[in-house]
Chains A and B, each alone.
Chain A
Amino acid sequence: MRKTLLSFTAFTALAFPVCAQAGEQIQIVGSSTVYPFVTVAAEEFGNSTGFKTPIIESTGTGGGFKLFCAGIDEASPDMSNASREIKQSERDMCAENGVKDITEIKIGFDGIVLANSKEAERYHLSKTQIFKALAKKVPVNGALADNPYQSWNEIDPSLPNDKIEVYGPPTTSGTRDAFVELVMEPSCKDLPEFVEAFPDKKVRGKTCHLLREDGAYIESGENDNLIVQKLQSNPRALGIFGYSFLEENMDIVQGSIVEGKEPTFGNISDGSYGVSRSLYVYLKDGHIGKTPGLVEFATELVSDEAAGEFGYLAEKGLIPLPAEELATVQGRVNALVESAAE
C-alpha cells in the first residue's frame, strides 16, 4: 500500500511541473475540409525546415474557433482552419478573451459537387431543381407543403425516372452549411410562398436551410469516402461531397452539371461553377515571435510552390486563388514577416 501510494504521488509530482512546455510547436485546429490541405503544407514545412512539424487537429470550423479564441496564452492554438469566413460573433468571442488581432489568410477554393455513379447517366440540374428535390418544405399549388416529390421526373420531365436518393453530410458539417447556403437559400428565399409564410427574414432563412427528413436525403456522416462507396453500390443515388473526393474517384463517380456548368478545376477556379466556397486559415498575431516558425509556416502555406496554380496543394485538389488575389494574400503574410522581424 505504502509503495503504491508512494509511486502514485511520485508520478503525479513528476507529471505536473513539465506542463509549461506547450507553445514550442505550431498548433492548428479547425475545419475538416481544410485539414487535408494544411497537413500537406505542414509536412512539407517540417521536412524542408528545421522547425517541428505543426500539429493539426480536425475539429470542424466552429469547434476550431472556440479553441482558437479561448485565449492568448501559449497553450491555445496558433492557427484555425475555416471553410467559411469568421463570424462577427466569433470575432467578439476572440476579442473578449484577449485575441484582438487575427490575420485572415485565404488559401483557395473548394467546390461542392453532386455526383453519381458512372454507370448511370450524368445529371443536369438547376439549383431550383435541387431545392425542389431536397427541401423540407416546397411550394405546391401556391402554398407551402411537405416535400411531395418522390422521383426526379416529378420535378422536371427531362430528369430521369429515378427515386430521389441523395447521400450527404450531417448538420454538424461545414460542407452541409455551405451547400444549403449556396444552393438551397438562393432558390428559396425569394419564393412568394416563403415570403408570405415567413415574413421575418431570419426565420425564413432558417426554414430555407431545412433538408427533408423523409428518407430522400440520407445523412451519411462526416466521412466523404463512405458516400463515394455508397454511390458505387447504388448507381441510382446522388451524393454531396467536396471536389477533392470527386477528383480522387473520377474512375467511379461523375459530378452533376449544375446550372449548365460542370464541376471541373477550371470552372471552380474562375467562379463559373456556382457551388464553391473559400477556404481560410486564421492566424493569431499575438503568437508571432512566441511560437517558433509561425510566420515561416504562413509564408510556406501561401507560397507559389504550395498555393500557386501548379502548387502541391492544387495537386491535392485545392482550387487555387487567381494570381492577383494570391499576390494580395502573400503581401499580407509578408507584412506579418516584416512586423515580426522588427
Chain B
Amino acid sequence: MTRLFQRHTRIAVRRVQRKKSPFIYKSYSKKPKHRLLRKRKAQEQRFRRTGLAAIVLASLFLVSLIWNIVASGYSAFTQVQVRIPVTYEQGLIEKEAYRTIIQKSLTELFPNVENRSEKRALFGLISRNAPYILQKEVQNNPSLVGERHEVWLPVSSQISIFYKQELYRQGERGGSVSPTEAAWITALAQSKRMRLSFNAAFFTNGDSREAERAGILASTAGSLLTIIVCVLMAFPLGVATAIYLEEFAPKNWFTDFVEININNLAAVPSIIFGLLGLAVYLNMFGLPRSSSLVGGMVLALLILPVIVIATRNALQAVPRSIRFAAAALGATPTQVVFHHTLIYALPGIMTGVILSIARAFGETAPLLMIGMVAFVVDVPKIFTDPATTLPVQVYLWSNNPELGFVEKTAAAIMVLLAFMALINLLAIYIRQRFEIKW
C-alpha cells in the first residue's frame, strides 16, 4: 500500500512539474484506492468547491448590484425635450417675463385649453427652469430679440418619467400623469415635437431641486478640489513621517508608541476625523464651513496613517544592499534615502497613495460634521468656496421625495464608480509599469 501511495505521489509530482498546472488533483487520473488518500482528495475537492462557490456568490452580488444601478440609472443620461415655437417679444424680454413667453407658445400649440386648472397643468409640461434657459440664450445672442424660432426645451420631471417609461420600461411605475397630460404628450409626440437627447445638463449643472436640471458638475468640482487639498497635505506629511520612522528614527519605546498609534489610527471610524476637523479646523482655526479646504484637510487626516504604512512597506522592500552600496560610495544617510531608497520605493508609495485617495474620494461621513453635506448649486472655483462631493450628492439625491431623482441617484453612482475604476486602473498601471522586483 505504501508503495502504491508513493507511486501515485510520484506521478502527480511529475505531471505537475511537466504541466506547471495548479490543478494538482486532476493528475489523480484513477480513483485512489487508499482510504486515507481518498479522504485527502475529498478534502481537497471540498475546499475547492467551497472556494468556487464563494467566488460565484460574490460575483453574483456584484453583478446584481451593478445591474440594479445601471438598469435604473442609464435613462438619466438622456433628457426628454419638447419643441415649441418661441416668439422672442421685445416687450416681454425687457420685463424678463420668459415664463410668459413659454406660456404663450404653449397656448398657441393647444388653443383649446381654457380652463384655469388645465392651463396650469399645460404650463407644467415644461420644466420650471426652462425660462432661465431662454434667458441665457437671449443674453448670449441678443439678436434673437423680435425673432421667432422653434426651441427644444426640457420637459418637467413627471412628464419625463412618463415618456421614458413608455420608451424603455413598459409596465413599471410611471409617477402620476393625468389622462389629459398623457393625451397632450401623445399629440406632441405624433407631431414630432418630442425627442430624447443626450442629457448634457447632467454634466454641466450643479445641484437642483428640479430633477431634470440637477447635475453633478458642482459636486465633481468639489470632489476634485477636496482631493487636491487632501493630497497636498497628506502626501508630503505622510511620506516624510514614514521616511523618518523607517530610515532615521532610533528604535526605542517612543517610536514604538508612535508606530502603534499610527496603526491604530488607520482603523479609526471616519466620522471621528470629522469631529476632529470640526473642533480643530472650524472652531479653533476659524476656517470656512462647508469649504473643500476643510474637507480636504479632514480627509488628509483620514488617509495619513494609510499613506505612512504603505510608504514604510515600500521602503522596507528596498534591499539593504542598495543602501550599503550607496553608503560605501560616500553618500550621507540623507543622500542614500533621497537619491536611492526613495526613488526605488516610489512606485510602491504611489500605489498606496492612489488607493488611499480612492478611499478619500468615496467618504461622506467625516464631511457631514464640517458642513459639506449641503445643497450647493454654484460650482466651487476656489478652495474656500462652499462645496460638496460626489458621494454626498448621491446621498442627498437619494433622500429627495421626487421620483425623478431615482434615476439621477443611480446615474451619479455610475459616475462615482467610473471614477473609482479609473483611480484603481491608474494604481494598477503604475504598479505594473514601474515596480521593481528584487
Chain A residues near B383 (CB-CB < 8 A): 15, 18
**Cβ of B239 and Cβ of A251 under 8 Å apart?**
no
Q: Quick one: closest B residue to A3, CB to CB?
A: B236
Chain A residues near B209 (CB-CB < 8 A): 36, 39-40, 43, 316
**Cβ of A75 and Cβ of B289 under 8 Å apart?**
yes
**Cβ of A57 and Cβ of B374 under 8 Å apart?**
yes
Complex partner residue of B401 from A27, A29, A36, CB under 8 angstroms: A36
Instruction: Give chain B interface residues in 304-338, CB to chain A under 8 Å.
Output: 334, 338
Instruction: Give chain B interface residues in 397-433, CB to chain A under 8 Å.
Output: 398-403, 406
Q: Quick one: closest B residue to A73, CB to CB?
A: B286
Chain B residues near A21 (CB-CB < 8 A): 288, 384
A27 to B338, alpha carbons, bound, how many Å? 47
Measured CB to CB, the residues of B under 8 A from A are 120, 128-129, 132, 173-176, 208-210, 229, 232-233, 236-237, 239-240, 243, 282, 285-290, 293, 334, 338, 371, 373-378, 382-384, 386, 396, 398-403, 406
Please classify the interface of chain B as helix (H, G, I), strand (E, B), loop, or mixed, using the class held by over half of its residues.
Answer: loop
Q: Quick one: closest B residue to A242, CB to CB?
A: B401
Write the nearest CB–CB distance from A143 to chain B, whole angstroms.
43
The interface size of chain A toward B, counting residues with CB under 8 Å, comes to 48
A75 to B243, alpha carbons, bound, how many Å? 39
Write the nearest CB–CB distance from A44 to chain B, whole angstroms.
8
Chain B residues near A32 (CB-CB < 8 A): 399
A203 to B302, alpha carbons, bound, how many Å? 43
**Cβ of A4 and Cβ of B236 under 8 Å apart?**
yes
Chain B residues near A248 (CB-CB < 8 A): 175, 401-403
Chain A residues near B174 (CB-CB < 8 A): 251
Write the nearest CB–CB distance from B11 to chain A, whole angstroms.
57
A58 to B290, alpha carbons, bound, how many Å? 12
Q: Quick one: closest A residue to B372, CB to CB?
A: A57
**Cβ of A1 and Cβ of B285 under 8 Å apart?**
no
Q: A1-B334, A5-B236, A53-B377 are in contact. Are A225 and B399 (CB under 8 A)?
A: yes
10 A-B residue pairs with Cβ-Cβ distance under 8 Å, sorted by A, are A1-B338, A4-B240, A15-B287, A15-B293, A19-B287, A21-B288, A223-B398, A225-B399, A316-B401, A316-B402
**Cβ of B236 and Cβ of A7 under 8 Å apart?**
yes
**Cβ of B240 and Cβ of A5 under 8 Å apart?**
yes
Q: Quick one: closest B residue to A25, CB to CB?
A: B386
**Cβ of B288 and Cβ of A8 under 8 Å apart?**
no
Q: A47 at interface (Cβ–Cβ under 8 A)?
A: yes
Instruction: Give chain A interface residues in 26-49, CB to chain B under 8 Å.
Output: 27, 29, 32, 35-36, 39-40, 42-43, 46-47
Q: A312 at interface (Cβ–Cβ under 8 A)?
A: yes
Q: Quick one: closest B residue to A32, CB to CB?
A: B399
